[in-house]
Structure 1
Amino acid sequence: MPSAPVLPAPTPTTVPPTPAAAPATPTDNPLAGDTFHGSNPGAARAAAQPGTSPEDAALLRELAQIPTATWLGSWSGDVASTVRQVVGDARAAGRVPVFVAYNIPGRDCGGYSAGGVDSPAAYLQWVQAVADGIGTAEAVVVVEPDALAQLCGDQAERLGMLRSAVDALERNPGTHTYLDAGHSNWVDAVTMAERLRTAGVRGADGFALNVSNFQTTASNVTYGGQVSALLGGVHFVVDTSRNGNGPGSDWCNPAGRAVGQRPTSSTGQLRVDAYLWVKTPGESDGTCNGGPAAGTFWPSYAVALMRAAV
């Protein structure tokens, strides 16, 4: 499934946070106590491939067992049925599924993961199908990686689609939505806070950071705290799937990276609801640095990510 490329950007302006409306407490976390669900089928298949060394196979089997988000887009077929199946599997395991809605028109602004449906009406129909698949179950949905950080095309139209997506998903009592907000080294905190506000983050559970990127957890927590303060204390989640060694010299399949902290809702950080594996470790960012097409599982890269974290 497609990944969410992250374009290089200037170092953001340092922004002092404004006072939050009210201090948060640990009980404010809507994900408190949750354990997460999601598979990495590419890792499981690679582990079973003939010729895979026992050491590599063991690392791939371990990777396949770590809860990883399910990405939803055109490849999902009947998306309501796809989501319903994942929800059922998660319920049977006593866990909470994590989804990524990734089908907005003009997705990735023509980059490696270009695509999406062809109109706002088609997009809202698709999002409603995602919501229908979740129903009354508990689920986490990360909404449209890069859509706010890139913000290409008709900006008002895109912001309106994101607001409508949040509204549709949040009608479900157990759905927790997090609008994607780029990462700590992309868009300055003031600009991102305003984009989030306009896109309806106050109607969501919060925002998501570092999806498919490599910035450190610490830098994202600091940046997220600045954005949160500007929004009166809105919560957020951080993708830690590949940030164990921090960023490399490139955003696309950089060498020497490592998987990061395992998914958890016990972060020990005020307003950080969870560390999640949103990007599927081992899936290529695109045809760069020797990688296959975006979203294709790349066994040697997956093994390197796991080995570097040992």
Structure 2
Amino acid sequence: MSRVRRRTRTAALAAALALMTAGTIAASQSATAGVTSLGVTSLGASPAATDLYVDPTTQAYAAWQAASGTNRDLLAKIALTPQSYWIGDWAGADQTRQQVADYTGRAAAAGQTGVLTVYAIPGRDCGNHSGGGVPESEYARWVDTVASGIVGNPVVVLEPDALAQLGDCDGQGDRVGYLRYAAASLADAGARVYIDAGHSGWLSPSEAARRLQLIGFTDAVGFALNTSNYQTTANTQAYAEQVSSQVGGRPYVIDTSRNGNGSNGEWCNPRGRALGERPRFVEDGTALDALLWVKLPGESDGACNGGPAAGQWWQEIALELAANAHW
């Protein structure tokens, strides 16, 4: 089982956080050059890069650059934290390949690990706020297009909600087969694949394990939990350890992007939430590989609770998440 162990913060991060506290974070050139999360030393089959990559093209980064005063300080907490790059069916094949190559290429050039979230399964989200996905006949080709753009060895979170929603609606096609194919294609391209398995408030540990075993771990490294949700890290890790014990001790990653105050039972733009722990690779004696920010804080879950459409920037809730953070 792979592991990475922690070391002290890099000088770049220490400098960035000091400036952030003073409200005078250095201009975009510093972050573009690679302001990092907690540094780690890689072991075993873990990614060779020792830091997670900060993407200066996010909506949060643009909002931070345009802000001033207190808002700028708060938005820096989001903008300068490594987050996942989501790739889906909203672009044509050439653009999809280019986007993947650009993001993973920048991360690799910086000597850091990028995180990709692959999100285009047929029947995605059962037609709800994030409904869509590519046609059943096109999924394998689409995944191969994504794989063809991969540079280096990014972490990939594979198809949020797809396994947890298995059988919940029509139009899913051979979802198990699609996920198996995607794991193989992306792993062959160098990605470190974690199959999304919902969250601790969704499936029982035994059911999550059963569904993960349908896909198998011939190509995927492990599984991902809490993507875009709010379950606490402690509860999620306790749940994940139960799941892991039933799938051969496979490792997992946890999305901590918005779980700082835990869940209030809502999933779509709940108020009063907070940024969670900063992303980092982990060695704590469990099967936990990393804490990640998979969901991009400040981007709406959908047109609910006063929010804009899914994926659109919502500055009001971004500031709320940052202000409520316990760090």
TM-score past 0.5 threshold: yes
Q: Is the aligned partner of 1:250 residue 2:259?
A: no
- The structural deviation recorded for 1:79 is 1.3
- The structural deviation recorded for 1:92 is 2.4
Report what 1:114 is aligned to.
131
Residue aligned with 2:116, SS: strand
Report the residue type matching 1:150 in the other structure: Q
Cα–Cα, structure 1 residues 29 and 248, in superposed 2: closer, same or farther, change >3 Å?
farther
- The structural deviation recorded for 1:249 is 3.5
CA distance in 1, matches of 2:196, 2:101: 23
Report what 1:133 is aligned to.
149
CA distance in 2, matches of 1:282, 1:300: 8
Q: Which has the higher contact order (CA 8 A, sep 6+)?
A: 1
Report the residue type matching 2:159 in the other structure: E
TM-score normalised by length of structure 2: 0.81
Q: Is the aligned partner of 1:159 residue 2:192?
A: no
2:62 to 41, 45, 60: 45
5 Å-filtered alignment, 1:33-182, equals 34-39=50-55, 41-49=58-66, 52-77=67-92, 78-119=95-136, 121-135=137-151, 137-151=152-166, 152=168, 153=170, 157-172=174-189, 174-182=190-198
Cα–Cα, structure 1 residues 262 and 29, in superposed 2: closer, same or farther, change >3 Å?
farther
Report what 2:235 is aligned to.
219
Report the residue type matching 2:163 in the other structure: L
Report what 1:6 is aligned to.
none
Report what 2:305 is aligned to.
289
Cα–Cα, structure 1 residues 29 and 216, in superposed 2: closer, same or farther, change >3 Å?
farther
- The structural deviation recorded for 1:93 is 1.8
Residue aligned with 1:163, SS: helix
- The structural deviation recorded for 1:85 is 0.6
Residue aligned with 2:200, SS: coil
Report how many aligned residue pairs link the two structures.
Answer: 283
The answer on whether the counterparts of 1:287 and 1:294 sit within 8 Å (CA) in structure 2 is: yes
Report the residue type matching 1:240 in the other structure: T
Report what 1:194 is aligned to.
210
The answer on whether the counterparts of 2:60 and 2:78 sit within 8 Å (CA) in structure 1 is: yes
Report what 1:273 is aligned to.
289
The answer on whether the counterparts of 1:179 and 1:207 sit within 8 Å (CA) in structure 2 is: yes
CA distance in 2, matches of 1:62, 1:185: 27
Report the residue type matching 2:175 in the other structure: R
CA distance in 1, matches of 2:148, 2:218: 22
CA distance in 2, matches of 1:58, 1:75: 32
CA distance in 1, matches of 2:306, 2:80: 26
- The structural deviation recorded for 1:111 is 0.9
CA distance in 2, matches of 1:209, 1:32: 23
Structure 2: gaps (5+ residues): 5-42
User: Percent identical across equivalent pairs?
Assistant: 46
RMSD: 2.0
Structure 1: gaps (5+ residues): 1-22
CA distance in 2, matches of 1:278, 1:269: 23
Residue aligned with 1:96, SS: coil
- The structural deviation recorded for 1:199 is 1.5
TM-score normalised by length of structure 1: 0.86
